[in-house]
Structure 1
């Protein structure tokens, strides 16, 4: 069970079900997938050896561990018990005694007030049920002048993934991933919404910078397709689709991934926002 109350119950169920287990079972692969933005994120956070760092939506703990190597202490918070189990085991194996992991919902977790110098997140802030409440809670955990840095996706139609998903959608039903929503992967795709939410939550000096990176989805098209179809959301969307339709969708995804195959894996462009701000 989580250490604190949960506001984002749907996300709690997903990340403690097959989605969380898939991320935990493929720890190295997900870390490699998201690694290209990690250095940019930590550089933007401007970590110092005296800092105490909060990693929001820490998952398997890659960012938490890297932050800990630059700072005095790092705390990772996440909803997912399977991923936190991985995070704790990896931190212990790496001898990082100044890393702590908490299972909880950052929107409502009772952080000690003004106890962190920096809050960071790599793709972990888009799913809050109430973003203003969540970032207000995070702001309260930061010391006055404390820094916030996070990475979130731009709109789905700007991602190379969109072409792969379009191929899948011709054979099996998928949701409209380009639709604007208050919560979800692209909930901060509009920079004006990012600024509005953070301003309302007590942040200032808000900067939103466009960043393009490449993600390696697999060794080859078939490998990338198999990984995609094991991903939690894809399993959820296709759970009621006929088996033959799913197989056709998988073949279409493999063909679509082929357009991005290189001698160094299947590489898709991802367009993100790198956001920084300070607690007012």
Structure 2
């Protein structure tokens, strides 16, 4: 994967310099990857790599912008011809039919005063298929979804499948949430299947933060933090597709479970979603 990343950058980034000589792309990549993986101070990385703290800062900023600009190349929602395999893998996880993705938000902390609420949609292979990285941590998950391009696209062009979300999200024709209270055995089985399948996105969040420790606490301004997060998402998908293990001494990541938010519904929202969820219960559970 490091060689693959290097192939994406065949030109030097002029902002990053050491003494009077521009750092090579290889050196810039290594400095940036070290920061992403360790999440330590710029000064520590600079001492280890033999460059100044300011140089590390410039390198990380420039490389993060460059990597983040590739987000649409490496992050894409599954097309119709890709959904069959996605549905099969999700079904194997928890017996939930027609699932093409799971959605959740996770937070990154650029400082003790601010956080960024990151919306992620992922598949059963822990590939990120959609992301929104711009909202402060105080914004409700449902609002981030409603303001997103993904919401507008799936509302106007209903996908061939469903996305799973927790109770903070609205119940929509393409977005299934669990029953608040399971009143029948069938509804209880639906909720159990929903939970087992949707766990994929919580595990994905855990993988992302385990792979890139910098996301646990970013000592940078929010705008810079957003660029770093986008870059880590790109690299995560590259690493996952290349089957790069997290850690030779690690059995697996712990799920990253955010506290569940209270629902936030709009008037007349969810009527069609209720009918579709009831149909899934009747036909499968």
Both proteins in one fold, TM over 0.5: no
The structure that is strand-richer by fraction is 1
Larger radius of gyration: 2
> Scaled by the length of structure 1, what TM-score is found?
0.26
The structure that is helix-richer by fraction is 2
> Scaled by the length of structure 2, what TM-score is found?
0.26
